[in-house]
Amino acid sequence: MAKKKVLFVCTHNSARSQMAEGYLNARFGEIFEAFSAGTEVTSVNPYAIRAMDEIGIDISRQWSKKLDEFFGVEMDLLVTVCDSAKGACPMFPWAKEKIHAGFSDPSAASGSDAEVMEVFRGIRDEVTGFIDEKFGDRI
């Protein structure tokens, strides 16, 4: 049986969508194949890498990809994880289904290293909770 393809999209493809890609592949990779992209390209946020590493998931080899790279690629599900990406994705007709889950941008966090990490942990936990709830039901 072919794996269902899921594309997570946010603005910069640096944190929320990267965490979602890594978690879905690690947690439900036998059923789903996850990808991530952004409406802009940056790099994977080091805090996102650290936050995921804390739960045993290595996203350090992932890279930021532009949504354009997936044009014409059929996806079973497209998940926008920020409101600005939601506005940009109605133009993605290659997804069989689209859903939205808006998460705050942890990259906007400021303060000490510990304070920023706390923000990233919170978003990580929201993202992983969403995936457990939405994708666990699809098994």
Kindly list the catalytic residues: 10, 82, 89
Do 52 and 25 meet the contact criterion of CB atoms below 8 Å apart?
no
- Residue for token digits 């994880």? 81
State how far the alpha carbon of 103 is from the alpha carbons of 8, 20, 25, 63, 93, in Å.
12, 11, 19, 20, 23
| 5 bridge partner residues | 33
- 43: helix, strand or coil: coil
**Cα 10–7–28 angle (5° rounding)?**
120
- 9: helix, strand or coil: strand
